[in-house]
Amino acid sequence: MNRPRTGGPDDRPFVLVEQDRGALRIAALDPAAARGGLRAGMALAEARALWPDIETAQAEPEADAALMRHLAELCDLFTPLVALHARDGLILDVTGCAHLFGGEREMVWRVRRRLGMLGLASCAAISATPQAAWALARDRRNIIVAAGDEEQAARTLPLTALEQDATTTLALGRAGFRTLGDLADRPSGMLTARFGAGLADALRRILGQEDIRITPLRPAPEVMAEKHFAAPLGLLESLLTVLERLAQDIMAALERRGAGGRAFEVSVFRSDGAVRRITIETAQGLREAAGLMRLVRLKLEALSDPLDPGFGFDAVRLVVIRSEPMAERQAALDGNTEGQTQAGDVASLVDRLSARFGRESVQRFVMRDTHDPVRAGGSVPFLSSKTVALSAPREPDKPEPGQPPARPLTLFEPPQWIEALAEVPDGPPLRFRWRRVLHEVARAEGPERIAPEWWRCGNAAPATRDYYRIENAHGHRFWVFREGLYEDSLARPRWFLHGLFA
Amino acid sequence: MPSALMREPDHPAPGAQALAHAFSLARGALHEVYAGTEADSPSLSALAMMLGEASTGTDGRVQAGQQATLWVRHEALGREVGEPHPAGLAELGFDPARLLLLRARDAPSALQAGLEGARCAALAAVIIELRGEAKAYDLTASRRLALAARASGVPVFMVRAAAAPMPSAAETRWLARAAPSRALAAKAPGHPAFHLVLLRARNGQDGLQHHLEWNRDAQRLESRLPGHGETAPAHQPGGEPAAPLSRAVVAIPVHRPGPARHEPPPHRRAG
């Protein structure tokens, strides 16, 4: 758990101020200011009365939050389960991770050194429950609580450690409680009756009697392999070599589980604290390290800002974000994997194209069961897994034999306004002008009346449309519609071009 | 016109042979389809898909209707002529689920994606749709595509509306446009019809003209006369009036003998 502090440039007290209830108040302060009797929440005018020469700067909560997110990324180096807490806290679930860094003491030292390198002061505590560790670090105690000693460590904490609202804290203080130990000695039923269950819960968690896990920023990976380097690695090519070995490791792990990876993530930690992540998705389960490396290389080539080694890479991690069960494929005796090679080739083509041109560029068509032509079909990224959730995807209807196509090959969204002249008020247009070109209608069919799905469009339902298939003298075929029913609209009806036929 | 199509129409068998041969849209080759105006763009896309369908399964090894087609499309075409509509594809008889659409940012990436597809033997066809004049599509690029297509056996269709034909390594080059359809009852627009002129072919048969109509139910392009009673448009991109073709409705069978480029063109021996 870390608490970044802004160090003052010199010995003068330094505070950050923010506008609050019409006054400038101190949002954060440095140790010198704290020694001088200032505290957070104090009005700046009051502070200046105490210390006329204090230095101030505007607080930037958004920038702070961005910094905390960046630090969370950085701490990802130590454990995949990192959560943000309050405005200035990080909670790392280091269960089962400490031994990788030479024990808990060594690990805390490394985390704090890492933050120190960025010019941040920090406090850190390790305890059995995240709330206990948080309360201890908040109280500026850098301790590692052994299992079973949580209550002992937490008893001396002040009431503010409970992080209840001001009235509750005040009421507890007036009741004569000073530390959590005082509260812990009372039966919890009494506290619950007076202050609600929230207080008793908070107390139990800090005392280590109840453990709720943190909600990490990033979901826990299914399979993970990583490599920390003794000295920063300066060459991209060597990084890829290491990555290939990691890929072999995780593929072996996937094989043991009988699964194939659908989404992978490569995280590269640079020694200056920058973290780059590259996500790779595949169209079907992947279990070959060479295949994954090919996709990684394609993706790296396509990056708009290349992966810059800078002062070198500290560590690299390869994670399987999503996997699916994958049937073992038995190669036939002649080495052929019947039939599956065909689909397999297309899937790997999709992977290559998605890696090279971006996930959004490679698409497939989906159709929905609706009469609304706009909603009836569209294209979605090939690799998106959301298609199952689309409302009632359906097989295309078999078109009526012997009839020409009833729907256009391309659709304009939104429809394009055209200037049309109809022979009879409710008939097809005689001629129309689209993009400054006049088209004489030679053949027409219609109308096909399509009403909007009123249950989807709130109060202002769009007008019913009368669609016509028309063809001009040159053989170009169009799908146009007149907006609104003729008898309803007194004004001149508006015409639109919605699509083009082949 | 040095075509067997100009033979007497009472010999349908050689006519059919000749038409199939004229459409020697060999698998494993690059074919170009041009149009004079952007308005013909949807027709061109559809035509490329139809030709791809017609060239599938020539070797009898793989069944048509199983494989995916890669459709590489310049992103800007969506604004110019609309986004592809799956219901419309289904109405033309193509299974939207078998189409893989790639929206390319620019011509170079479209060509790169097309090349990647042309190397993948599991595809039924690759369709590359560029927008307007594209400098990136030069002799080298077309040669690359042609070589990749030959190696994998996948037909590649280069679709270019509103672009002037350029020298390239293509096997065939067509100038196509939408043709007036044969009206149905009550002057309703009929089946999609196209007019094609063969601008260039490796085997030297240029200048061929075809009026084709897409028969969705049989999944084939059928030759036909220009819509009866309809006059052909005044300005013909081909420059010459549409010549009457074979009267018999001749189909390009889906399963044809192997690619024509491997065998010498049939000729009559005298004596």
Contact criterion met (CB < 8 Å) for B181 and A379? no
d(CA A59, CA B206) in angstroms, rounded, equals: 76
pLDDT for B271 equals 41
User: Do residues B210 and B195 touch, judged by C-beta distance below 8 A?
Assistant: yes
Q: Which of residues 241-270 of A touch B (CB under 8 A)?
A: none
Residue of A nearest to B89 (CA): A409
- For A440, phi then psi, to 5°, come to -90, 130
User: Do residues B152 and B30 touch, judged by C-beta distance below 8 A?
Assistant: no
pLDDT for A3 equals 39
Residue of B nearest to A406 (CA): B91
Average pLDDT score over residue span B151-161: 91
Contacts of A379 in chain B (CB under 8 A): 83-84, 86, 101
d(CA A40, CA A254) in angstroms, rounded, equals: 52
DSSP annotation of A126 reads B
User: Do residues B182 and A404 touch, judged by C-beta distance below 8 A?
Assistant: no
- B250 has pLDDT over 90: no
Report the top-level CATH class of A223-327+342-356: alpha beta
3-class SS string, A102-115 = CHHHHHHHHHHHHH
Q: What are the beta bridge partners of residue A471?
A: A443, A477
d(CA B204, CA A179) in angstroms, rounded, equals: 98
Contact criterion met (CB < 8 Å) for A471 and B216? no
- A326–chain B nearest CA distance, Å: 21
Q: Which of residues 439-498 of A touch B (CB under 8 A)?
A: 442-445, 469-471, 473-477
Please state the ipTM of this predicted complex: 0.76
Cis preceding-peptide flag for A219 (omega within 30 of 0): no
Contacts of B179 in chain A (CB under 8 A): 475
Residue of B nearest to A498 (CA): B82
- A334–chain B nearest CA distance, Å: 18
Contact criterion met (CB < 8 Å) for A411 and B83? yes
Instruction: List strand residue ranges (DSSP E) for A177-272, in order.
Output: 223-233, 259-270
Q: Does B111 touch chain A (CB under 8 A)?
A: no
Contact criterion met (CB < 8 Å) for B102 and A353? yes
Instruction: Name residues whose C-beta falls within 8 Å of residue A23's C-beta, 6 or more positions apart in sequence.
Output: A43, A44, A45
- The lowest-confidence range among A36-45, A60-69, B13-22 is B13-22
- B199–chain A nearest CA distance, Å: 21
d(CA A323, CA A265) in angstroms, rounded, equals: 12
Q: Which of residues 212-251 of B touch A (CB under 8 A)?
A: 214, 216-217, 230, 233
pLDDT-derived band of residue A464, with 50, 70 and 90 as boundaries?
Answer: confident
Of B42, B117, B195, the CB nearest to A409: B42
Let me know if B232 is exposed, middle or buried by CB neighbors in 10 A (0-12, 13-18, 19+): middle
d(CA A461, CA A467) in angstroms, rounded, equals: 18
- For A214, phi then psi, to 5°, come to -80, 160
- A480 has pLDDT over 90: yes
Beta strand pairing call for B209-215 and B193-201: antiparallel
d(CA A142, CA A124) in angstroms, rounded, equals: 5
d(CA A62, CA A29) in angstroms, rounded, equals: 18
- A328–chain B nearest CA distance, Å: 22
Of A396, A408, A476, the CB nearest to B96: A396
Of A344, A346, A405, the CB nearest to B123: A346
d(CA B184, CA A158) in angstroms, rounded, equals: 89
User: Do residues B220 and B54 touch, judged by C-beta distance below 8 A?
Assistant: yes
- A74 has pLDDT over 80: yes
Helices (H), A10-78: 31-35, 44-50, 61-75
User: Do residues A359 and A381 touch, judged by C-beta distance below 8 A?
Assistant: yes
d(CA A342, CA A337) in angstroms, rounded, equals: 9
d(CA A342, CA B68) in angstroms, rounded, equals: 10
- The lowest-confidence range among A498-502, B76-80, B186-190, B233-237 is B233-237
pLDDT for B247 equals 35
Tokens encoding A187: 């039966």
Q: Does B92 touch chain A (CB under 8 A)?
A: yes
- A16 has pLDDT over 80: yes
Task: Supply angle C-alpha A252, A254, A258, rounded to 5.
Answer: 115
pLDDT for A432 equals 93
pLDDT for A487 equals 65
Of B86, B104, B113, the CB nearest to A367: B86
pLDDT for B150 equals 92
Of the candidates B26, B95, B32, the residue with the CA atom closest to the CA atom of residue B54: B26
pLDDT higher for A371 or B111?
B111
- A164 has pLDDT over 70: yes
d(CA B250, CA B169) in angstroms, rounded, equals: 29
Average pLDDT score over residue span A247-252: 93
pLDDT for A299 equals 87
Contact criterion met (CB < 8 Å) for B82 and A353? no
pLDDT in tens, A110-125: 888 888 888 888 889 9
pLDDT-derived band of residue A344, with 50, 70 and 90 as boundaries?
Answer: low
pLDDT for A461 equals 67
For residue A338, how many other CB atoms are within 10 A of its CB? 11
Size of interface A-B (CB pairs under 8 A): 208
- Look over chain A and give the mean of its residue pLDDT values, rounded to a whole number: 83
Q: Does B122 touch chain A (CB under 8 A)?
A: yes
d(CA B169, CA B141) in angstroms, rounded, equals: 9
pLDDT for B84 equals 93
d(CA A455, CA A370) in angstroms, rounded, equals: 12
Average pLDDT score over residue span B68-92: 91
- B258 has pLDDT over 60: no
Contact criterion met (CB < 8 Å) for B102 and A357? yes
Average pLDDT score over residue span A368-381: 83
Residue of A nearest to B68 (CA): A346
Of B45, B62, B191, the CB nearest to A404: B191
Q: Does A336 touch chain B (CB under 8 A)?
A: no
Tokens encoding A162: 């409970």
- Domain boundaries of chain A, sorted by first residue: 14-59, 63-206, 223-327+342-356, 362-397, 410-500
Let me know if A303 is exposed, middle or buried by CB neighbors in 10 A (0-12, 13-18, 19+): exposed
pLDDT-derived band of residue A468, with 50, 70 and 90 as boundaries?
Answer: very high
Q: Which of residues 180-219 of B touch A (CB under 8 A)?
A: 180-181, 183-184, 186-193, 195, 214, 216-217
Mutate to test the interface with B, among A410, A416, A432, A476 (most CBs of B within 10 A): A410
| Type of residue at A80 | P
DSSP annotation of A458 reads -
pLDDT for A334 equals 52
Instruction: Name residues whose C-beta falls within 8 Å of residue A263's C-beta, 6 or more positions apart in sequence.
Output: A279, A280, A281, A282, A320, A321, A322
Q: Does A369 touch chain B (CB under 8 A)?
A: no
Instruction: Name residues whose C-beta falls within 8 Å of residue A356's C-beta, 6 or more positions apart in sequence.
Output: A298, A299, A301, A302, B112, B113, B116
pLDDT for B216 equals 84
Tokens encoding A454: 């009123």
Contact criterion met (CB < 8 Å) for A376 and B177? no
Residue of B nearest to A371 (CA): B87
Beta strand pairing call for A14-20 and A23-29: antiparallel
* Range B28-57+64-254 has CATH code 3.40.50.300: yes
Residue of B nearest to A360 (CA): B103
pLDDT in tens, A17-38: 888 888 888 888 888 888 888 8
Tokens encoding A493: 């009806």
pLDDT for B140 equals 92
pLDDT-derived band of residue A234, with 50, 70 and 90 as boundaries?
Answer: confident
